Structure 1
Amino acid sequence: MATPEFIVELRKKIGHDPLFLPAVSAIVIRDVAPDAPIWAVPEVLLVKRADNGNWTPVCGICEPGEEPAETAMREVREETGLEARVEALLGVGAMNRVTYPNGDVVDFIDTAIRMSVIGDDTPVIGDEESSDVGWFTVAQLPSLDPRFRLIIGDAVAQLKHPQGFRPRLGFHKRKP
């Protein structure tokens, strides 16, 4: 994956020291059609990361001056070729510290956003960050990080019961 240029420039100044970066998780949900069978469940858009083979929602780092909602829309477009709109805030929280193979250390603060597709919902592999992309029913997800399962569940809960939903403040971090 290409490192954003602004991070490359920062790393020239601070080396591998921890960076605190804003990020987004775009939880793109495709609800069931009104005439669907009673057992039908919503689907979520996932990408298979090229670097480690893990399935994840579309995720990305906010560029300087970019709102998280703008980042989410940009990342969905870049990674899947789809146009998406923001529907709801799901939560904001710190993620576990990440140490990359080159020694760079990052602490992400993630904004999780529920989104829906505008127009055609046929995804494509949009860039070199992904090796596959597809829709998965929320009842039959591939192996995912528990945090992603949590916010996908939040997205469906918010979609089905928006009046009673409260955005999550903080994600469950794993112990080091």
Structure 2
Amino acid sequence: MATPDFVLSLREKIGTAPLWLAGVTAVVVRGDETLLVRRADNGAWTPVTGIVDPGEQPADAAVRETLEEADLHVVAERLASIGVTGEVVYANGDRAQYLDHTFVMRYVSGEPSPADGENTEARWFGLDDLPTMGADMLERLDAALSGEQAARFGMTPR
């Protein structure tokens, strides 16, 4: 599902006005590889991302989003970073800003596939052979793959 029902309900009331939402980035690691998906809306390669549902724990959202978007079973291992994104303006004019929680996810099972239509591809990339990505996604990957035990605070808004 591309846009959660609770966001659609809010949009009926506020139109395209900015929304402040909790988001997750799931950096799935398998050995010396990481999972990336190619977004259907803009063609960009990114880790799995998504919106936290009302009342949902962010780590649970990262697990759910990875299953929904890439058909992989994963376990959240640690919070790598937390920060505020810049404002995002979608093609339909909707505006949002996210409090992003980036998690390191351990691969359990499954073969990556673009499971829900939000992405056109899902596949493993070697850590030394990543495709071109935006600076914000590279920053999230760096935090997740750094091996640091403490979470980083305050991503650079883009």
Deviation at 1:150, TM superposition (A): 1.8
- Paired residues, number: 158
Structure 1 residue corresponding to 2:122, chosen from 133, 144, 153: 133
Name the structure 2 match of 1:81. 71
Higher strand share: 2
Return the TM-score normalized by structure 2.
0.94
Max Rg structure: 1
Name the structure 1 match of 2:13. 13
Name the structure 2 match of 1:124. 113
Contact in 2 for aligned 1:46/1:57 (Cα 8 Å)? yes
The AA in structure 2 aligned to 1:114 is V
1:126 and 1:19 mapped to 2: Cα distance?
A: 27
Identity of aligned residues (%): 41
* Partner secondary structure for residue 28 of structure 1: strand
**CA deviation string 1:141-175 (max 9, x = no partner):** 101111211221222222xxx5xx3211110123x
Q: Unaligned 5+ residue runs, structure 2?
A: none
* Partner secondary structure for residue 135 of structure 1: strand
After TM superposition, what 4+ stretches of structure 1 lie above 2 angstroms from structure 2?
none
The AA in structure 2 aligned to 1:27 is V
How big is the alpha-carbon RMSD for the aligned residues of Structure 1 and Structure 2?
1.3
Name the structure 1 match of 2:143. 154
Return the TM-score normalized by structure 1.
0.85
2:145 and 2:97 mapped to 1: Cα distance?
A: 27
* Partner secondary structure for residue 124 of structure 2: strand
1:2 and 1:25 mapped to 2: Cα distance?
A: 15
